[in-house]
A and B are shown apart, each in its own frame.
Chain A
Amino acid sequence: GQQVQQSPASLVLQEGENAELQCNFSTSLNSMQWFYQRPGGSLVSLFYNPSGTKHSGRLTSTTVIKERRSSLHISSSQTTDSGTYLCALGGGADRLTFGKGTQLIIQP
């Protein structure tokens, strides 16, 4: 079965609205990362977040180990936030197992 499930698969919002992306893991969670994938394909690391809450500008990541889930919150969305957001289980010296991504579209 799929180890990493992301939801929603796609999300369309108006500029200024908040976005909430979810990631659920079917196995125990040692570490995880959130990425933004640019249209050309390159991956930008947003958070390495094995547990707890981390902030970076308008982005907040919260990982709850015992519930095997992580969320990414984007506040006051902008059109430049549009793209694909990926979560992945693992990190460090361990391989990453990716979810299928959330396609985020922010309309002006």
Chain B
Amino acid sequence: NSKVIQTPRYLVKGQGQKAKMRCIPEKGHPVVFWYQQNKNNEFKFLINFQNQEVLQQIDMTEKRFSAECPSNSPCSLEIQSSEAGDSALYLCASSLKSYEQYFGPGTRLTVL
């Protein structure tokens, strides 16, 4: 069973507001991922980190999201100015470098 912790489970924001969610990866996992699952159940990779450093991120994340994974603190993903299209389930996952990814329960964001 996964031990990835995500908070909050639900988040409601107005358009233009900041939306911040947090993730505590499994202990000892150096790689952390954020994915977005939209209302059509399509997954989109957003960003990943290895030991606090960004490995990859998509263009949208670079422009509109702020993400970090500091040592000894939860990782976070923040949308700077929420849009209706950002309403989705945000999933955090962690892994050892060569093995499977374990997912948290997700943060369901609703942008009104």
B106 and A92 contact, CB distance less than 8 A: no
A27 at the interface (CB under 8 A from B): no
Q: Which residues of chain B are within 8 angstroms of A33 by Cβ–Cβ distance?
A: 100-101
Interface residue ranges of B66-108 to A (CB < 8 Å): 89, 91, 93, 95-106, 108
Count of A-B contacts judged by CB separation below 8 Å:
67
Binary B-proximity of A74-108 (CB < 8 A = 1, otherwise 0) = 00000000001000100111011110110000000
- Chain A residues with Cβ under 8 A from B100's Cβ? 33, 45, 48, 91-92
B41 contact from A84, A91, A97, Cβ within 8 A: A84
A88 to B100, CA, bound (A): 11
Residue of A nearest to B107 (CB): A41
Known: A40-B105, A41-B105. A95 touches B56 (CB 8 A): yes
B15 interface residue per 8 A CB criterion? no
- Could you say which residues of chain B place their CB within 8 Å of the CB of A41? 37, 89, 91, 105-106, 108
B42 at the interface (CB under 8 A from A): yes
What are 25 A-B residue pairs whose CB atoms fall within 8 Å in the complex?
A33-B101, A40-B105, A40-B106, A41-B91, A41-B106, A42-B2, A42-B106, A43-B91, A44-B1, A44-B2, A48-B99, A48-B100, A88-B43, A91-B101, A92-B97, A92-B100, A92-B101, A93-B55, A93-B97, A93-B98, A95-B56, A96-B33, A96-B43, A96-B101, A100-B41
